[in-house]
Structure 1
């Protein structure tokens, strides 16, 4: 199997194993052993938890964390009058 594909599967295994981040909408791309994380999360603490889970994957080298968080003001839109 392709080493990048194997690493991607390992990263997803860690994300699915960790109860703090399971179910998060995170896209994982691996190219040349470099893991890139993309997606939008509800908080900075969740962003940190995702990166911590990914670092547990065997074979991890470089991680490019492009995860963003939802601004609290955008999370709840004001009612239209």
Structure 2
């Protein structure tokens, strides 16, 4: 799909992406029914957002990309934006 749109596509193995803390890297075991990631470091996220941040980090490091901040991805959801 990425090639079609002129983008780099990176396959990221999903192992532990929802259990690894995207803030500190600690593995926080949880059952599939647990929908919130809560780590001792203070990170408190939806389980899927935590996994998405981990996948993004892995993908960017694999592609050799630098300069993209995780916070920049928030605008993809329209947060902190305004329409005039």
TM-score by length of 1: 0.31
Higher strand share: 1
TM-score using structure 2 length: 0.30
- Higher relative helix content: 1
